[in-house]
Amino acid sequence: MIRVSAIQQLCNMPQAQAYQHSAELIFTASNNGADLVVLPELHSGAYFPQREDKQFFNLAQSIPGDFTKHFASVAKRAGVVLVSSMFEKHNNKYFNTAVVFDSDGTIAGIYRKTHIPEDPGFYEKFYFANGDGQIKPITTSLGKLGVLVCWDQWFPETARTMAARGANMLIYPTAIGTIPEDNDNGAFLDAWITIQRSHSIANALPVISVNRVGLEEDLLSTVKSIDFWGHSFITSAMGELLAQADETPQIIYADIKLDNTLKTRRMWPFYRDLRPSLYSLPRSICD
Amino acid sequence: MIRVSAIQQLCNMPQAQAYQHSAELIFTASNNGADLVVLPELHSGAYFPQREDKQFFNLAQSIPGDFTKHFASVAKRAGVVLVSSMFEKHNNKYFNTAVVFDSDGTIAGIYRKTHIPEDPGFYEKFYFANGDGQIKPITTSLGKLGVLVCWDQWFPETARTMAARGANMLIYPTAIGTIPEDNDNGAFLDAWITIQRSHSIANALPVISVNRVGLEEDLLSTVKSIDFWGHSFITSAMGELLAQADETPQIIYADIKLDNTLKTRRMWPFYRDLRPSLYSLPRSICD
């Protein structure tokens, strides 16, 4: 049994304050028995992709660096496996990168966001190159973590690839919300939950999806503000909602058993019947 | 604008009676303005895979045959595009086959179920060979229909393949329900709806899922009965439920615009960002 937790936090604050705020929440989660703690996407300050501005490239850090030094220390002191998210500079490229720390403070692995969105107010293609690595789980003392990031959550292929490569759970640090012109009556939020639950169902894996929360204004942005809608959640290996946040800052928890995946795959034996030779996603449609 | 309909019907009756019952419901749907009518899986009688019994192979028919003759005539007289489902004998193999008739009574195409389930009470691997064709849409006067069958609905790959090959909608004739020993508090039904809505969301396509309904007893079966739970539904191109049945016999309708797919793919530009070269589903895991 593993207790997992999702820290749905306010992020719109100076970096030093955000480092401290996340650290305090990680210690709180640890004190509440969490073995695994997941932070939202790019949690160390305002969501800078609200606008395209070259100065924000100064926020990027290398690995190792101040960011990894800080959160390695927090993970070790809290005694938790920690999934964090940062703006990474690597050689001449910049990535949207999740960094996983084991509970001894070592870096268990990193994952560079595979799919990069680009929408008014979410100008990520300006900042981030496409992830350049394999889609594969990160091995930790708690098992193999299928860490993906935000926009990846809309692609069943990323979940399947992680699962086929042995992930024990799927984890999505996220930054999603509405801009003032949005008027979708909640259809987008509902779709966001639905598609991630479907990855849980198709692969018999728990899903931990952790969103930012709160209104972030940027008067120089074309959209002027984004209201990050929270609603982080954790599913069972059958896609059931074990815990779900509302639209306020909070930490949610769930106790999960990794061997439920084996049991669920015997009950729902989709893997027995996969026929990869018949599936086609022509590379020509996007490469 | 196309009016689509799903006929959630009782099927547990002699074949001649089932033929007549489906025909009456198709005419009703047509009278209510339906352009496209979808029947549930294996609608021409009791769900015989409740047990393994060689005598049931006598139910299989060739194409063309009595089944196609009957439903071609009904489609033509009702003036609808019709998605039907049958037990097909083809050379020395037997398939679980969807047959699509255009509104002039011609056979627009067939689809042989790709993934065959096998569970107590659902002994389909005894009867049906794996579908041997490509997963590709069937062209009709109403557009390209992405016709799949039941168990296929649990595989995001089949939906993606249909979509990548130009399907305008996804259609799932289905036979799903509970056996007396099931005690899942509705988790299975919820998962069934969730994963199919996810195909709608991932691909920006309407989904029409049509289930059998009603208790079918078979005292020679190991499970003794299956309660087909109905709950057929139709989604928008954003995965929203436009119509949903309860657990009683009924016809549901929805008006859909095929150009909503284009609009939705501009709003949710997942296809822009697909990276097929990174997705992996090793053939070794099942072939």
Note the residue count of chain A. 287
Reply yes or no on whether B286 is catalytic: no
Residue B166's H or E segment, with its range, is none
- CA dihedral (B9, B12, B13, B19) positive or negative: positive
Rounded Cα distance, B129 and B134, in Å: 14
Q: Which residues of chain B have pLDDT under 50?
A: 286-287
pLDDT, one tens digit per residue, over A31-45 is 999 999 999 999 999
Rounded Cα distance, B24 and B18, in Å: 10
Q: Specify whether the CB–CB gap between A156 and B160 falls below 8 A.
A: yes
DSSP readout, A239-278? S-EEEE--SS-EEEEEEE-TTHHHHHHHHS-HHHH--GGG
Chain A nearest CA to B178, separation (Å): 13
Ranges assigned E (strand) in chain A: 2-8, 36-38, 81-90, 93-101, 107-112, 138-140, 143-147, 169-174, 177-178, 207-211, 213-217, 225-229, 233-235, 241-244, 250-256
**CB-based contact, A161 to chain B, within 8 Å:** yes
Nearest-CB residue to B276 (from A197, A268, A283): A283
Q: Round the CA-based radius of gyration of chain B to a whole number and report it.
A: 18
The whole-number pLDDT of residue B283 equals 59
Two tokens, residue B91: 């050379």
Q: Which of B113, B124, B144, B216 is catalytic?
A: B113
pLDDT, one tens digit per residue, over B221-232 is 999 999 999 999
Taking the model in full, what pTM does it have? Answer: 0.96
CATH of the domain at A16: 3.60.110.10
**CB-based contact, A57 to chain B, within 8 Å:** no
Residue B285, burial from CB neighbour count under 10 angstroms (0-12, 13-18, 19+): exposed
Q: Specify whether the CB–CB gap between A239 and A202 falls below 8 A.
A: no
Per-residue pLDDT of chain A in tens (287 residues, 90 and over written 9): 999 999 999 999 999 999 999 999 999 999 999 999 999 999 999 999 999 999 999 999 999 999 999 999 999 999 999 999 999 999 999 999 999 999 999 999 999 999 999 999 999 999 999 998 999 999 999 999 999 999 999 999 999 999 999 999 999 999 999 998 888 888 999 999 999 999 999 999 999 999 999 999 999 999 999 999 999 999 999 999 999 999 999 999 999 999 999 999 999 999 999 998 899 876 555 43
B-facing residues of A in 101-130 (CB < 8 A) are 114-119, 130
Helices vs strands, H then E, count in chain B: 7, 15
Domain tally for chain A? Answer: 1
- Distances from the Cα of A25 to the Cαs of A9, A33, A69, A85, in angstroms? 8, 13, 17, 15
Cβ–Cβ of B286/A274 closer than 8 Å? yes
Chain A nearest CA to B122, separation (Å): 13
Q: Round the CA-based radius of gyration of chain A to a whole number and report it.
A: 18
**What three-state secondary structure class fits A214?**
strand
Return the residue matching tokens 């604050």.
Answer: A13
Rounded Cα distance, B212 and B167, in Å: 24
Chain B residues in contact with A114 (beta carbon < 8 A)? 275, 278
The residue segments making up the domain with residue A167 are 2-286
Return the residue matching tokens 């996407």.
Answer: A41
Chain A residues in contact with B271 (beta carbon < 8 A)? 285-286
Max Cα distance, chain B (Å): 53
Query: Mutate which of B124, B161, B184, B201 to disrupt the A interface (most A C-beta within 10 Å)?
Result: B201
- Distances from the Cα of B200 to the Cαs of B136, B159, B168, B242, B262, in angstroms? 17, 8, 11, 12, 13
